[in-house]
């Protein structure tokens, strides 16, 4: 089928940024034999704007989007993290191409008010919404018109190429990368861990406590040296929510510590992720795996196998297409065992 994919391709970063979930989705769609045309909304807005000022190019970007819709004549339109494409433009697409299916995919947390507002607005005009938060917490969008689905963060086998579960001579014992400080107090926990293990292990906190953040190639190089990492969200407790950090760590065979309130035990096998309940529990478990490297490698290997086999971008994109088009599921998607293709609960 023909797919028009709207998201930010970061054309002007020239390779500095790491591959995004949106790019992984595109790779998976192509592997599943779909024709994909990308529309990088922010880049188009900048290209079309006077002096390259993106904010001045929104109207022109919407015009170009409608031209792209006419030119591609897509069966499926996937709207990603856009604040450029307007609801009015999507309504015009409805009028021009009534048989095209329109969906919104969103991998940002619901606790950010602007993101929840964006999802709610799209839910009133698209056919389906896919979010990296479980259906329990997505019920705030029920009744707005769109069918609701959960999606995990995918592993892309051409990107997550490491297998640190097979390595013993890695320089970084523990890693946490982030420079996001809004809507969170997680650095309090990171600081407590840092103080507790100081002198005991090499804990790198890129982006915090005076350590420069790492991006793109530098981030990948940091991952290549890492045994264990913290998968801390800005806020914990939303069902199945995590950033794409989970797939980056799991897919590369890096043992990760995740808060138990995310309920990933529902579909992630045992002895893969290390769950903790509070600060002291986390510190105790970090020390346990630091001093038992065989156990660290065993759990990390199990996680990598699961992430690469069941959460890869090929299955991820296939699921999105099947759910969007309400087709029978062709695979036993581990994250969708509680839902029918039409979005109703089993």
CATH number at residue 252: 3.40.50.2000
125/112 same-domain check: yes
Residue 226 burial (10 A CB sphere; 0-12, 13-18, 19+): buried
**Chain mean pLDDT for the chain:** 96
Structure confidence at residue 138 as a pLDDT band (50, 70, 90): very high
Listed in order, strand segments (DSSP E) in the chain are 2-7, 35-40, 76-79, 101-106, 128-131, 147-150, 172-175, 203-204, 226-231, 255-259, 274-276
- The tokens for 155 are 């592993």
pLDDT in tens, 212-254: 999 999 999 999 999 999 999 999 999 999 999 999 999 999 9
Q: Do 178 and 57 fall into the same domain?
A: no
- For residues 173 and 275, membership in a common domain is answered with yes
User: Is residue 318 domain-shared with residue 288, that is, in the same domain?
Assistant: no
Structural domain for 96, as ranges: 2-154+312-336
341 in a structural domain: no
- Least confident residue range of 12-16, 85-89, 97-101: 12-16
pLDDT band at 302 (very low <50, low <70, confident <90, very high): very high
pLDDT at 18: 82
Q: How many domains does the chain have?
A: 2
pLDDT exceeding 90 applies to what percent of the chain? Answer: 92
Does residue 269 belong to any structural domain of this protein? Answer: yes
For residues 83 and 173, membership in a common domain is answered with no
In a domain, 346, yes or no: no
Q: Tell me the pLDDT band of 16, cut-offs 50, 70 and 90.
A: confident
- What per-residue confidence (pLDDT) applies to 183? 76
* pLDDT class of 62 with cuts at 50, 70, 90: very high
124 domain-assigned: yes
pLDDT of residue 273: 98
The pLDDT-based confidence of 182 (bands split at 50, 70, 90) is confident
Do 247 and 281 lie in one domain? The reply is yes
Q: What is the pLDDT of residue 11?
A: 83
**Of 141, 125, 114, which is closest to residue 87 (Cα–Cα)?**
125
User: Is 98 within 8 Å of 75 (Cβ atoms)?
Assistant: no
Q: Is the pLDDT of residue 45 over 90?
A: yes
The answer, yes or no, to whether residue 9 has pLDDT greater than 80, is: yes
Q: Are 312 and 156 spatial neighbours (Cβ–Cβ below 8 Å)?
A: yes
Report the candidate in 211, 266, 201, 212 with the shortest Cα–Cα distance to residue 240: 266
User: What does residue 158 show for φ and ψ, rounded to 5 degrees?
Assistant: -85, -10
User: What's the average model confidence in pLDDT over 13-29?
Assistant: 90
Q: In angstroms, rounded to a whole number, what is the distance separating the alpha carbons of residues 162 and 155?
A: 12
DSSP codes of every residue in 228-249:
EEEE--SS--STT---THHHHH
Closest C-alpha among 314, 299, 226 to residue 268: 299
Instruction: Give all strands of the β-sheet with 128-131 in edge-to-edge order.
Output: 35-40, 2-7, 76-79, 101-106, 128-131, 147-150
| pLDDT for position 184 | 80
CB proximity list for 338: less than 8 A, separation 6 or greater:
135, 345, 346
Taking only Cα atoms into account, the Rg of the chain, rounded to an integer number of angstroms, comes to 21
Query: What number is the average pLDDT over the span 73-102?
Result: 97
Domain-located, residue 159 = no
Domain shared by 108 and 169, yes or no: no
Report the pLDDT averaged over residues 55-78. Answer: 97
133 and 143 co-located in one domain: yes
- pLDDT, position 12: 81
140 and 39 share one domain: yes
Q: Which two tokens stand for residue 40?
A: 């990088």
Q: What is the pLDDT of residue 29?
A: 98
| Residue 106: both structure tokens together | 């969103």
Ramachandran angles phi, psi of 172, nearest 5°? -95, 115
pTM, 2 dp:
0.95
Looking at the fold, whether 168 and 147 belong to one and the same domain comes out as no
Q: Report if residue 319 sits inside a domain.
A: yes
Residue 345 lies in a domain: no
Is the residue at 61 inside a domain?
yes
Q: Look at residue 181 and tell me whether its pLDDT is greater than 80.
A: no
Looking at the fold, whether 20 and 88 belong to one and the same domain comes out as: yes
State whether 145 and 172 are in the same domain: no
């Amino acid at each position: 089928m023909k797919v028009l994919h709207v998201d930010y391709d970061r054309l002007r970063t020239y390779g500095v940024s790491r591959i995004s979930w949106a790019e992984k989705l595109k790779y998976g769609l192509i592997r599943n034999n779909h024709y994909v045309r990308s529309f990088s909304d922010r880049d188009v807005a900048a290209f079309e704007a006077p002096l390259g000022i993106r904010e001045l190019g929104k109207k022109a970007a919407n015009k170009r989007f409608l031209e792209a819709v006419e030119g591609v004549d897509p069966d499926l339109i996937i709207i990603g993290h856009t604040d450029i494409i307007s609801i009015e433009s999507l309504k015009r697409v409805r009028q021009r191409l009534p048989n095209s299916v329109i969906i919104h995919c969103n991998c940002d947390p619901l606790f950010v008010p602007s993101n929840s507002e964006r999802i709610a607005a799209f839910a009133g005009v698209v056919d389906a919404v896919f979010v990296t938060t479980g259906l329990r917490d997505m019920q705030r969008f029920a009744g707005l018109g769109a069918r609701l689905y959960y999606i995990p963060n995918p592993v892309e086998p051409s990107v997550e190429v490491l297998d640190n579960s097979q390595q013993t001579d890695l320089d970084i014992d523990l890693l946490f990368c982030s420079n996001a400080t809004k809507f969170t107090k997680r650095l309090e926990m990171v600081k407590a861990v840092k103080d507790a293990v100081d002198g005991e292990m090499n804990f790198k906190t890129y982006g915090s406590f005076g350590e420069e953040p790492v991006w793109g190639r530098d981030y990948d190089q940091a991952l290549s040296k890492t045994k264990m990492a913290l998968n801390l969200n800005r806020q914990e407790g939303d069902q199945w929510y995590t950033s794409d950090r989970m797939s980056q760590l799991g897919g590369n065979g890096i043992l990760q510590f995740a808060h138990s309130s995310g309920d990933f035990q529902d579909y992630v096998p045992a002895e893969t992720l290390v769950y903790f309940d509070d600060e002291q529990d986390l510190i105790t478990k970090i020390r346990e795996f630091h001093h038992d490297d065989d156990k660290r490698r065993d759990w990390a290997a199990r996680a990598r196998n699961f992430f690469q086999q069941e959460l890869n971008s090929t299955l991820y994109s296939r699921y999105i297409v099947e759910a969007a088009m309400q087709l029978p599921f062709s695979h036993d998607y581990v994250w969708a065992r509680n839902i029918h293709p039409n979005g109703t609960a089993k």
